[in-house]
Structure 1
Amino acid sequence: MDEALGLVERVLGGNGRFHRARHLKIALLRHLNQSKAALTTIKESLNIDKMEYGTLWEKHLLTGEATFVQITKLNTNTLIELAIDYAHAGLFSNAITLLNQAIHITPMVKYTLGWIYAQSGDAENALAAFAEAAALPPDYCFPNRLEDVLSLTTAREMNPKDARAPYYLGNFWYAHRRYDEAIAAWEQSRTLDDQFATVHRNLALAYTNKLDDPQLAVSSLETAFALNLNDARVLFELDQLYKKLNRPALERLALLEQYESLVEQRDDLTIERITLLNLLQRPDEALQLLLNRNFHPWEGGEGKVTRQYVLSLVALARACIENEGWETAVTHLTAAQTYPHNLGEGKLHGAQENDIFYYLGCAYEGLGDDEQVKAWFEKTAVGLSEPTSAMFYNDQPPDMIFYQGMARLKLGQTAAATAIFQKLIDYGNTHLNDDVQIDYFAISLPTFLVFEEDLNLSNRIHCHYMMALGCTGLGKAKIAQSHFAEVLNLDTNHLGAVLHQALLK
C-alpha cells in the first residue's frame, strides 16, 4: 500500500483536483492507520468539492459523521459507483461493506456485489449474490456501465441457469446499438425462462426493427401479451405490429374491443380504436368515443385526436348530404371547425380545412342557398396548392389540394381545376421512386414510436394516393381505382384512400 500511495501522490502532483485519486489516497491512508493524514486530506478535498461522495464516505468511516448518508440518501447508483472504485483499487472488503448499505436493493446491486466477491476469490458468496440478483424483480433495471457488463458476464458464467443476466445484458447491448449481441442474449434468456413476457416483447421489436422480419416478431409479441394480459403497452405494440403487417381493420378492432378495459387505459390505444371505426365507416361510434374521453397530449400523437374528430364529423356530414339531410350536415361541419377542450389539443394556426368548406358548399347547394354555396366554394378554392411529402403531422395532406380542385369545378373554373388535379398527378409520378431521408430538423414522427418505418414505402403510398386523387378529380375513374388499389394493397389501413375511393362509386 505504501507503493500505491506513492503512485497516487505522483498522480495528484500532476492533477491535484482529480477526485478519484484523492479518494483513493484517503482510503490508503486509512488502511495504513494514518488517520490524521487521512482527515487532513479529507478537509482539503472537501474544500475543493463539498459534495465529493467518496471523500464523505471515508469521513463517515473515520469519524462516524452522517453527512454522506444525509446527502446521498444511500442512493443505489451512488453506492454502486463508489463500490466499483473500491473494487478497481482491490479494496474488495470496502466495496462489499458499502454495497451492503443499500436500502433499495436492485438486481444490479446484487450482480455488482457478486462480481466483487468473484474478484476477491470468494466464489461461494459470489454465487449467493448472483442467485439473489436473479430472483429480484426486473422492473426498470437497465444496466448502463461497462462494469455492469463485467458483472453480468461473470454471473452468466458462474450461474448458467440465470435467465435474467442475459436479459439485462441484452438491454445493455441494444441500448448501445450492438443489436446482434442483444438479440443473442435475449434469445438465451428466453431459452432459460420462456415465461418472462418482457424478453419476448424485446425480441419482437428487435426482429422487426433490426432484422426486418416482422413475421418472426408476431409470435414473440403474441406470446408476450399472452403471458401478461394486463399489459396495455404490449397490446398497443401488438396492434401496431398487426397494422404494419396489413392485418384487416375488422380483425384489429375485434382485438381492441376484446380488451376494452386495457384500451381505455391509454390515449394511443383509444385513438387507434377510433381510427379503425372511421376506417370501417362507423363515424358515429368514433365520435362518441372522442367526445366521452379527456385526452392528453403525448409525444408522437400530435394531431391524431383532432384529425379523427374532424374526419368523424365530415363523414357524418357526407352521409347526411347523400340522404338530403342538408341542415344536419351543416351542423356537423360547423362543429368540425371548433375543437372541444376534452380533445387536449387546439387547432394549429393556418390549419387547412378545405374538406370541411367543400362539403359546406355541397350542403348549402342542397338547401338552395346560392350565396352561401358560392362563398363556401370560393373559400375552399383558396389554400396551399403545392403538393409536399406530408411526412410530419402538420404538413398539408393532399386531400386539401384535391378539394380545392373540386371547388373550382363547382365554380365552373374547369381549367384551374384541371391544373390542380394534374399537379397532384405530376408530383406523384415525379417523386414515386424518391429515396427519402429524415430531415435533420424533424419535429415529430409518430410512426416511429414503436417500429421503424420504410420511408421509401411510405413515399410510394403517398405518391399513389396523390395520383389517385388527381385522377378522381379528372374523372379518370379506372386509373384512379388502380392507384387506390395500389395504396390499399401496400397499406390496407390507409384512411384517406378508403374514404375517397367511395367518391368513384
Structure 2
Amino acid sequence: MRRQETGIMLWAEWQRIMPIPPPVWKNPASGWIPERARRGERKKERDKTAKIRRDTDRKDDGSAGMDTGGAARGRRRRSCMISREKLVIPTYEMEEAEKSPIFYDVRNHQGTRGNVYPIPMRDVFLEKKIDREYDSVRLENDYVRIVVLPELGGRIYEGYDKRADYHFVYKNHVIKPALIGLAGAWVSGGIEFNWPQHHRPTTYMPVDCRIERGEDGSETAWMGEYEPLFGMKCLIGVTIWPDRAYVTVRTRLYNPTNATQTFHWWANLAVAANESYQLKFPPDIDYITYHNKDAVSEFPVVKGEFARAEFGDGQDITWFRNIPSPASFFIFNSNYNFMGGYDHGQQCGTVHVADHHVSVGKKFFTWGSRAFGDAWHKNLTDEDGAYLEIMTGCYTDNQTDFAFLAPDETKVFEQTWYALTDMPDLKNAEKEGAVGFSLQDGELRASLNVTSEQPGARLWIVAKGKVLLEETVSLTPGTACVRTLAVPEGVEEKDISIQLTDREGETIIGYTWRPPFFADREKPEPRRPARKPEEIESPEELYLEGLHLEKYRHVTLRAEPYYLEGLRRDPGDSRCANAMGMLRMKQGRPREALSFFRTAVQRHLLRDPNPRDGELYFNLGWALEEIGDEEEAVRCYRKAAWNSGFKAAGLRQAAKAALRKGKWKEALSCLEEAFPNNAESPQISFLLSFVFRRLGRRENAELISSRMLSVDPLAYSLLAESWLLTGEEERLRSLCAVLGEREAAWRTLLSEYAEIGAWEDLLKLAAFAPPELLILLYQAYAAQKLDREQDTREFLRCAQASSLDRVFPYTDWDVRVLRCCRAGGLEARCDYLLGCLFYGRDSREEGIRLWQQAAEEGDLHQAHRCLALALMDEYGDLTGARCEMERAFRLEQAENAGKPQDGRYLLELLAVRKRCGEEPEKLLALLEQYPETVNRREDLAHQRLVLCNEAGHPEKTAEYLAARSFHPYEGGEGILIRAHMLAYVQLGRRAAAQGKLAEAVSCYETALTYPENYHEGRSEFPREAAVCYYMARAMEAMGENEKAREWDERAAACRTGLLDESDFYTGCALRRLGRNREAALLYREMLEGARKILREEDRLPYFGGFVSNLPGEHSVRIANHRKAHPALFYALTGLSRTDEAQREKELAKQWGAEIAWISIVEAEGKEFLS
C-alpha cells in the first residue's frame, strides 16, 4: 500500500468521525510518494484505495501467500508468494553477549563515536561450526526469489534472479561473524540496512517481523525496531509484485522522542566480486571523496595515495582488480537515480534505483584484491569468495554524514534492486528498466533491460538529431534487447540518445548525455578539521561547529566547549543556550537544562512574544515536565503548537499530560488539533485510539488503530490497543508474535502506557512480557500507583531475586521507575542500574556517585567493577580503582563458584594492575592462574602475548601464537602481527648472538610469514622494516652482501609514517645504504611529529584518530603520551642524542608504554649510529 493512499483513507474516515477540513498535502516528505512512473496503467493503480489483508499466522508451507489472480489482467496469470520458514544455515557460534555494561568513551567505530551502551557487546568466538535454524521470510514470483532474516537485523539474505540464473545479491552460505559491527559481531552478504549509524548497532540481533499481502498481489515482509541507542523507530517493507522482476524496500524512520535526533541510512548491498567485476557509477560522476570527505580525487582514474591505498600513476578504480587494499569511495552528487555493478564474466550485474534527491549517497567498499583482502574474505565466508559492498545512502551522502529527525517526524523513502543481463556499459536505470551502450570504431552496441513484460514497445536510437533506429520490440525480464548498428562519422558518445516507450507511449527508460556534475561548478575541496573554540570568530560559527561535532558524533571532540564559548561571548545567544539545554536533557539533567532553555526563550522574546519557531518553547516544556512542573510545561507545549514545526509534538505532549490527570476530553481536543498536522504519527494515533476506547467510542478506536496499523504494521502500542479494545486472542497472539521475548521491546511498549498513567493497561500487558528485572520494576511501579501494596511487594520481591546480567536501562522512564523502586532491599540494585544509565548518557559524575552508593549499600560486584573503571578512566585514581576491581573480582568469583569464569572481570583486573605499573612477570602470573579463561577469550590471549614479549619470553609468545586461532577486528589489523614480528625478531637476535645464523634467518623468515590461524593478510603498508633490517644483518654476517643490500632496500621502502619502531629501522636501513641525509630527515620528521602530539596531548587527529578498545586505555592523553615518548626515543636515538633519548625512555615507562622494542634498540648500542 502506498503511504499517500493510506493518508487518503485516514482522512476519509476522520472526516466521518469529526468534521474537520483535511489539510493540503504540500510536503511530499510527510507521506509515501507514489512512484513517478508516467505510464497511464500504473497511474490508475495508484489512484485506487488499496485494502490490506494481513496474515500473521500462515502455515509455513510452500503455498502460503500464493496469488493465483495476479495483477496484470489480460496477460498470463502470474503468482507471487510469501512464507515464514525455518532456514538451516551453517553457523560459526559465538559466546553469549557480555553480561556487564561496556562504556566506550573515545572508541572510533567507522569514523563516529563507538559507545555501545545500552547494547551488550558480543565479541567472543567459540570456534565451533553448527547447523542452526533461523526464522526467515521467503518472497517469490516468476522472476525473483528473496529471503530475509529477521533474526540478523532484518537483512535481505538472498536475492536471486530466476531468468538470469544469477544471485544479484551476494548469498553467503555460512553465517561467519567477524568483529566489524558496533556491538562486535557482523556478517557479510545480502543487503544490510545500516542505521542510525554504521554498522547497524543491531545487525546481529533480532528485529520485529510481520508478513502482509496486498490486493494487487504484492507480498511484503515488514521488519522494524525501536533502536536502543536513541529510541528512534525504523520500519522497512521488503516487497515484490507478481509481474515485476525487482525487489523494493520501503522505509519509514520515525522519532517518538522529545529530542531532535540524528541518523544516517545506508543500504549495504553485497555482490560477488572477481577480476571481471566492474562498478557502475552514474556517467556524470567526475570527482569522488573518502570517509568524512577528508580527501578528493578525480574519477574514474585515481592517482597516487588515496583512501589509504596506493594507485601509482593511475588506476581505473571501477575495476575490483585495480584496488589493492581496503578502500571506500563516495560520490559528491549525481543527477541520476541509479548505481550498480557488473560481472563481465557472467554477463550479469546488479542495479539499485532510488530518487536521487533523497538517495544522495553512492559508495562502494572493498577489502582489496590482494592478500589482505583475501584474508578478510576468508574470515567472512567459507566458500563464497570475494565480495564488494555497493552502498546507497538516503538523507546522507557520506560516512559520517547524518541527517536530523525532529520529534514526531517521519521520513519515508524507497529503494529498488534488480538484476542486469548483457549490460556491460550501463548508462541509466530506473525502476522499469535499464539502458547501456558503447561506441567503438564507428559501431554502436546498445542494450536494454526491462523489469516487466513489455510487448509492442517502441525503441528509438538517435545521434545528433538523426534517427538511427526506430522499431517495435517486445521485451521480457531476464533477456536483454541488444542492437548493433553503424553510426555516422564524427558521432561521439555524448551525441547518442536512446528512448524506450511502452505500447501506450509512456517512457520506460531513456538516456541523453549530461555533462559531468562539476563541469560548471567549483572543484570540491576536502573538509577541514574543526578549529579550537578560541580560534573561532563568532558565536554563530561556534554554534555551527559544535552542532557539526554533535551531529556527526565525533569520536574525541565534544560540542559542549563550543557552545559554552559562544555563551561566554554572548550569554544570551539562543542557539548555543538551546543546544546546551538539549545536551543536558540527553544527559538526564533537566534542572540544568531548564536554565539554558529559559535563556534561549528570553532572547527570542526580546522584541516579539510570538517566536516564529516553536522548538524553544517545546524544549522548555520538556524540561519543566521532567522536574514535575506539569502545569507550566503544558503552557509551553501549547505555545510551541502555535507553529507548524512543533504543533503535533507539542499537542501530543499536552494530550499526555491531560491523560495522566484523567482529562479525556481535554486530551481529545489536543489530539483533534494535532491529527491534521501529522495524520500518520504512530503516537498520536495510539493516543487517539486510547482516548476513544476510554470514552466508549469503540468504532472510532478500532478505525484509528486499524488504519495506522495499515501504515505501520509493527506499531507496538496500536497492536496492544487492538487487543485491549476487543480482547480477541488472535490479536494478542499478533502482539506477542511481534514482541517475542525481547525485554527491551516490551519495555518500550510499557513505557508508552506509563507515560499516560494507564496503569491497569500496563499491568495487563506486562503479564505477557518476559519476567525480567526491569519489567518487574515497571509492574511494581504501576501497582504502587494503583495502591496495590501486596502486588507491589511481590513484584519487588521477584525483582530482588532477578539477575543483573545484561540489564542496561537507558530511557527517561527507566529513571523514574528505578528511583521509585529504591525500597525493600532494592536500593543497591536500583542505584547500580541508575549509575549505568547516567554514566552511559555522559553524566559521569552522577553515575560514579550512584555506583559508590550501590557499592556501600549492597556490596554488589557489578557496582565495584563499574566504579573501578570509572575511577581509572575519569579521575586517574589508580589506587581506588585497584581496590574496587580487586573487590569486584573476588565477589564475582564467589558468586559464580563452579561456573565458567567471567573473563571480562579478569581482563579488567589485568588492565587496572597494568595501569598501576605492575611488572609484566606478575601480570603473567595472574593470567597463568586462569588458563581456561585466557584461552577462551581472544582479548586475554592477546594480552598474554604482549606480556610475554615485554617480559622477554619470546619462545612463550611463539608457543601461544601457534596454539589457537585469532580474529582481528576491523581497524585492529596488524596488532597481532606486530606481536608476532617482535617475538621472532627477539628469537632471531638471540640465535644470531649465539652464532646460529641459519636459525636466525629462519626466525626472520617466520616473522614475515602470516600463519593461517592469524586470519590476517599482508597489508600493502606493512610495518616490517625491523625484520628486514635484521635479515640484512644476518646476510652480512653470512657474507651475502648483495642479499643484505636487497633486504636493506626493502627495509628502506617500509616507511609507514606511524612514528614507531618500523620507521626507526627504515632510517637505520637508509644509513646502511649510504642515504644519511634521508635518514636524518626521517628522524627529524619523527621528532616533530611526536612533539606535535605532545603539544596537543588532549586531542587526536580530527580524521581517523584511534585509541585502544581495551579497558583502562580510553584516555586520549595517555594514548598520546604512550605514542609520543617511544617515538621521541627512536628519533633522538637516530639523531645520536642519546641522553635525551634516555629521558624519553623513562617517560615512556612512566606512561605505561610497551617498551620491548625500545629495549632492543637500546641493547644494540651504537650499532645504529655507525
CA distance 1:299–1:266, change in 2 (3 Å): farther
State how far apart, in whole Å, the 2-side matches of 1:306 and 1:213 are.
Answer: 33
Q: Which residue among 87, 90, 104 is the counterpart of 2:754?
A: 87
Q: Which residue among 438, 447, 451 is the counterpart of 2:1112?
A: 451
Match of 2:845 in 1: 180
CA distance 1:137–1:317, change in 2 (3 Å): same
Q: Does 1:485 align with 2:1146?
A: yes
Q: Does 1:288 align with 2:959?
A: yes
Contact (CA 8 Å) 1:300, 1:445: kept in 2 or not? no
Contact (CA 8 Å) 1:243, 1:493: kept in 2 or not? no
Q: Does 1:192 align with 2:891?
A: no
> 1:248 Cα shift?
0.9
Residue deviations 1:277-300 (CA, integer Å, cap 9, x gap): 111221111111101211112357
CA distance 1:304–1:3, change in 2 (3 Å): same
> 1:397 Cα shift?
4.1
Match of 2:704 in 1: 41
Match of 1:407 in 2: 1069
Match of 2:832 in 1: 167
CA distance 1:273–1:300, change in 2 (3 Å): farther
State how far apart, in whole Å, the 2-side matches of 1:53 and 1:478 are.
Answer: 69
> 1:426 Cα shift?
5.6
> 1:309 Cα shift?
0.8
Other structure's SS at 1:187 match? helix
Q: Does 1:312 align with 2:994?
A: no
Q: Does 1:20 align with 2:687?
A: no
State how far apart, in whole Å, the 2-side matches of 1:74 and 1:422 are.
Answer: 61
Q: Which residue among 857, 878, 897 is the counterpart of 1:214?
A: 878
- After superposition, residues 103-502 of structure 1 pair within 5 angstroms as 104-156=770-822, 158-159=823-824, 161-194=826-859, 196-229=860-893, 230-298=901-969, 301-384=972-1055, 388=1057, 396-412=1058-1074, 417-418=1079-1080, 420-421=1082-1083, 424-425=1086-1087, 428=1090, 432-442=1094-1104, 444-446=1106-1108, 448-473=1109-1134, 477-491=1138-1152, 493-502=1154-1163
CA distance 1:85–1:402, change in 2 (3 Å): closer
CA distance 1:200–1:300, change in 2 (3 Å): farther
Contact (CA 8 Å) 2:773, 2:804: kept in 1 or not? yes
CA distance 1:384–1:38, change in 2 (3 Å): closer
* AA aligned opposite 1:241: V
State how far apart, in whole Å, the 2-side matches of 1:290 and 1:202 are.
Answer: 32
> 1:311 Cα shift?
0.9
CA distance 1:501–1:490, change in 2 (3 Å): farther
State how far apart, in whole Å, the 1-side matches of 2:752 and 2:721 are.
Answer: 13
Contact (CA 8 Å) 1:249, 1:493: kept in 2 or not? no
> 1:204 Cα shift?
0.6
Contact (CA 8 Å) 2:800, 2:825: kept in 1 or not? no
Unaligned runs of at least 5 residues, structure 2: 1-662, 894-900
State how far apart, in whole Å, the 1-side matches of 2:1089 and 2:810 are.
Answer: 47
State how far apart, in whole Å, the 1-side matches of 2:965 and 2:902 are.
Answer: 21
Contact (CA 8 Å) 1:295, 1:342: kept in 2 or not? yes
Larger fraction in helix? 1
Contact (CA 8 Å) 1:134, 1:165: kept in 2 or not? no
> 1:11 Cα shift?
3.7
* AA aligned opposite 2:1111: V
CA distance 1:500–1:73, change in 2 (3 Å): same
State how far apart, in whole Å, the 2-side matches of 1:303 and 1:246 are.
Answer: 25
State how far apart, in whole Å, the 2-side matches of 1:338 and 1:469 are.
Answer: 26
> 1:40 Cα shift?
3.4
Other structure's SS at 1:311 match? helix
Contact (CA 8 Å) 1:300, 1:449: kept in 2 or not? no
CA distance 1:188–1:336, change in 2 (3 Å): same
Q: Which moved more, 1:234-243 or 1:398-407?
A: 398-407
* AA aligned opposite 1:496: W
CA distance 1:210–1:105, change in 2 (3 Å): same
> 1:429 Cα shift?
5.8
CA distance 1:413–1:108, change in 2 (3 Å): closer
State how far apart, in whole Å, the 1-side matches of 2:933 and 2:831 are.
Answer: 30
Residue deviations 1:363-421 (CA, integer Å, cap 9, x gap): 11111122212222233333438xx5xxxxxxx34322322333344345555555555
> 1:164 Cα shift?
1.0
CA distance 1:91–1:277, change in 2 (3 Å): closer
Residue deviations 1:104-160 (CA, integer Å, cap 9, x gap): 21111111111112222334422332232222111111112111111111111x436
* AA aligned opposite 1:56: L
Contact (CA 8 Å) 1:207, 1:216: kept in 2 or not? yes
CA distance 1:497–1:26, change in 2 (3 Å): same
* AA aligned opposite 1:498: S
> 1:475 Cα shift?
5.2
Contact (CA 8 Å) 1:484, 1:497: kept in 2 or not? yes
State how far apart, in whole Å, the 1-side matches of 2:679 and 2:1073 are.
Answer: 82
> 1:256 Cα shift?
1.0
Other structure's SS at 1:210 match? helix
Contact (CA 8 Å) 1:488, 1:497: kept in 2 or not? no
State how far apart, in whole Å, the 1-side matches of 2:849 and 2:1147 are.
Answer: 38
> 1:197 Cα shift?
1.6
> 1:353 Cα shift?
1.9
CA distance 1:409–1:136, change in 2 (3 Å): same
Unaligned runs of at least 5 residues, structure 1: 389-395
State how far apart, in whole Å, the 2-side matches of 1:231 and 1:253 are.
Answer: 18
State how far apart, in whole Å, the 2-side matches of 1:418 and 1:2 are.
Answer: 81
* AA aligned opposite 1:59: S
State how far apart, in whole Å, the 1-side matches of 2:737 and 2:1134 are.
Answer: 72
Residue deviations 1:255-285 (CA, integer Å, cap 9, x gap): 1112222111111111111111111221111
Match of 1:392 in 2: none
Contact (CA 8 Å) 1:432, 1:459: kept in 2 or not? yes
Query: Identity over aligned residues, as a percent?
Result: 26
Contact (CA 8 Å) 1:384, 1:401: kept in 2 or not? yes
* AA aligned opposite 2:877: D
Note the aligned Cα RMSD (angstroms). 2.7
Match of 1:504 in 2: 1165
CA distance 1:68–1:248, change in 2 (3 Å): same
* AA aligned opposite 1:133: A
